[in-house]
């Protein structure tokens, strides 16, 4: 065994030991620089850990910066769920567009709907809990009206063709 092979083996065993340390249990398997930065900010008080309660009653934690918005929290949830799924059963596709169209996050019975709103606006701080709740958009927001119009026009056109 050459010196460089010995160094490599030693380095790999040290990395393996570090990743098995309980203090580093919240570090993802393949951390990005952003993940490491957020975890460091959490340790230094610049980020908060939020518990997310799923509809099945299970929960998991995510870490976001103290100045995070609802959109940042949604992104952290997405990353965490995708990492958990990849670790358990391989990659499965989740339609996040469908998730956020039918569910939203809630804190103290207040729905977190506006993506640009600060989490602090809702009183969310470190160790707070948010939960998924069913969400039906109001007609006032008209967010889904385009797809309904398209469907309506499509069926309306079929009716004209069948009447001729």
What phi, psi does 104 have (nearest 5°)?
-140, 175
Is 139 part of a structural domain of the chain? Answer: yes
Instruction: Examine residue 68 and state whether it is found in any structural domain, yes or no.
Output: yes
CATH number for the domain spanning 55: value is 3.10.20.90
- Residue 94 is assigned to a structural domain of this protein: yes
Q: How many domains does the chain have?
A: 1
Residues 6 or more apart whose CB falls under 8 angstroms from that of 59 comprise 51, 52, 53, 129
Residue 8 in domain: no
Give the CA angle between residues 105, 80, 17 to the nearest 5°.
Answer: 150
Q: 30's torsion region: left (phi>0), alpha (psi -120 to 50) or beta?
A: beta
Is 140 part of a structural domain of the chain?
A: yes
- Domain limits at 122? 31-163
Task: Provide the β-strand partners of residue 40.
Answer: none
Print pLDDT tens along the chain (164 aa): 566 787 778 777 776 776 676 766 666 666 777 777 777 887 888 899 999 999 999 999 999 999 999 999 999 999 888 887 776 766 678 888 999 999 999 999 999 999 999 999 999 999 999 999 998 776 555 454 444 444 445 444 444 444 44
């Amino acid at each position: 065994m050459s010196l460089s092979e010995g160094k490599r083996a030693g380095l790999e065993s040290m990395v393996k030991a570090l990743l098995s340390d309980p203090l580093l249990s919240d570090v993802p398997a393949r951390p990005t620089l952003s993940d490491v930065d957020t975890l460091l900010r959490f340790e230094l008080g610049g980020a908060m850990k939020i518990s997310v309660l799923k509809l099945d009653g299970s929960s998991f934690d995510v870490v976001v910066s103290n100045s995070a918005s609802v959109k940042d929290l949604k992104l952290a949830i997405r990353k965490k769920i995708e990492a958990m799924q990849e670790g358990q059963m391989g990659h499965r596709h989740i339609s996040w567009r469908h998730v956020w169209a039918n569910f939203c996050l809630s804190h103290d019975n207040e729905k977190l709907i506006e993506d640009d709103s600060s989490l602090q606006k809702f009183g969310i701080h470190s160790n707070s809990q948010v939960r998924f709740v069913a969400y039906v958009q109001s007609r006032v927001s008209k967010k889904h009206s385009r797809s309904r119009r398209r469907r309506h026009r499509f069926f309306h056109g079929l009716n004209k063709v069948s009447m001729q």
